[in-house]
Amino acid sequence: MPSSKTGEEDMDCKHFGECGSCRLYDGGYAAQHKLKSDGIHDLFKELYSGEITPFFSPDSHYRARAEFKVWHVGDDIRYAMNPLERGAKMVLIDECPMVIEPIEKLMWPLLESIKELEMGFKLFGLDFLSSSEGEIAVSMLYHRKLDEAWQEQANVLADRHNIKVIGRSRKQKVVIGEDFVTETLTINGKPFKFRHIENSFTQPNPRVNEKMIGWSLKQFEGISGDLLELYCGAGNFTIPFASQFEKVLATEISKSSINAAKTNMALNGEEKIEFVRMSAEEFVQALDGVREFRRMKEIDLSSYELRTIFVDPPRAGMDEASCDFASRFEHILYISCNPESLKRDLEYLTKTHTIDAMAMFDQFPYTGHMEMGVKLTRR
């Protein structure tokens, strides 16, 4: 269901006005969301006059993935973030209410343990990845080689805090336990499990992610045939989408993402998806018979009734060739992390298609960022 209102309480942080992570904070969450919403409506007013459905984030504790610098002050170490103002000093932080509660509860005792175990030498960053249930992987970033002594200390750290620890330095990765967490997303009352791998892309705001997938599924109601997905990543959308279609064919250029997508498919007992490692451009060549790919030899493209395409491209959006390819399909669903590139692509796509629905998803409260969803149908 659309989320049409924010929570009753606003996030409060002592570092508002100096920390560069949160750039919109005056007036609270409702005020900054209205500011962004007004900007979105103004940006798309020439292309779409209907409602742009808003989906809000929790007001605080919404990020399940976060990166912090480690700043050395004499013999002490502190968490640090880039400053709001260019040229200002690094901001040493004592709290961070934007991260989900399992991360915030871990951050401070973890730092004390790192000091006690003398693991801070040339440590310059700590990256946190958490599931909603509190399964956490912490990546420790170093400017030095990690030896057996470090591994012994890391094992103590992992046991003490019941976490997974990944040590990273130049050309080195040391895993204590596992390098992933397993997240459960509930979409329209149904749970889906996803393995989120350290140092790879995952949607940072799980509650908004659930709303984004749920809204997208609603756009497919009443549509038959098979689905083609470009830029599928680790299957965040692909796996829930499989329930709406006879078959799904999904492409992604990253080998690690394709491997993760196949793992996630197995975790959810899904069998109607074929994941193919190739770029969007390569897939167009394969579909049109311009080139043959060994990666496609087990896939009979003629057996698919591809009437619907789903795209979730990077910030640059799609190039004209990709837009031209998408316009072949009767139904287009486009999720965008950059409204500016989305507008450019819609100017092309609306030559052949009509916009049926639009939504905005506030993945990053207290920033100027907004994600978008658009459903189009061929005229």
**SS3 sequence of 74-114:** CCEEEEEECECCCCCCCEECCCCCCECHHHHHHHHHHHHHH
pLDDT value of position 9? 65
- Tokens representing 129 are 């990845």
Q: 143 and 289, same structural domain?
A: no
**What parts of the chain have a pLDDT lower than 70?**
1-9
Does residue 299 contact residue 270 with C-beta atoms inside 8 Å? no
Q: Which long-range contacts (CB under 8 A, 24 or more apart) does 19-23 make?
A: 19/81, 19/82, 19/83, 19/84, 19/91, 19/93, 20/81, 20/82, 20/83, 20/84, 20/91, 21/81, 21/82, 21/96, 21/98, 21/366, 21/367, 22/98, 22/366, 22/367, 23/84, 23/366, 23/367, 23/368
Q: 211 and 158, same structural domain?
A: no
- Residue 5: inside a domain, yes or no? no
Q: What is the pLDDT of residues 192-237, one digit of tens each?
A: 999 999 998 899 999 999 999 999 999 999 999 999 999 899 999 9
According to DSSP, the β-strands at 136-142 and 123-130 are antiparallel
pLDDT value of position 2? 41
pLDDT value of position 354? 98
- Sign, CA dihedral 130-238-319-212, equals negative
Q: Residue 348 sits in a domain of what CATH number? A: 3.40.50.150
Q: 169 and 128, same structural domain?
A: yes
| Structural domain range at position 73 | 65-178
pLDDT value of position 4? 38
Q: What is the pLDDT of residues 134-192, one digit of tens each?
A: 999 999 999 999 999 999 999 999 999 999 999 999 999 999 999 999 999 999 999 99
- Residue 329: inside a domain, yes or no? yes
- Final residue before a domain boundary, out of 178, 211, 234: 178
pLDDT value of position 25? 87
pLDDT value of position 293? 87
pLDDT value of position 8? 47
SS3 37: helix
- Final residue before a domain boundary, out of 178, 198, 223: 178
- Residue 30: inside a domain, yes or no? no
Q: 234 and 349, same structural domain?
A: yes
Q: 139 and 221, same structural domain?
A: no
- CA dist 309 and 173 (Å) reads 37
Q: 167 and 316, same structural domain?
A: no
CB atoms within 10 A of CB 26: 9
- Final residue before a domain boundary, out of 143, 158, 178: 178
Q: 329 and 256, same structural domain?
A: yes
Q: 297 and 187, same structural domain?
A: yes
Does residue 346 contact residue 358 with C-beta atoms inside 8 Å? no
Does residue 138 contact residue 167 with C-beta atoms inside 8 Å? no
- Residue 288: inside a domain, yes or no? yes
pTM of the model: 0.93
Q: Residue 132 sits in a domain of what CATH number? A: 2.40.50.1070
Does residue 323 contact residue 281 with C-beta atoms inside 8 Å? no
Q: 327 and 218, same structural domain?
A: yes
- Tokens representing 49 are 């006059």
Q: 217 and 323, same structural domain?
A: yes
Provide the H-helix boundaries in the chain.
Answer: 28-44, 101-116, 148-161, 206-219, 238-241, 255-267, 280-287, 320-326, 339-349
Q: What are the residue numbers of the active site?
A: 337, 371
Q: 163 and 312, same structural domain?
A: no
pLDDT value of position 191? 97
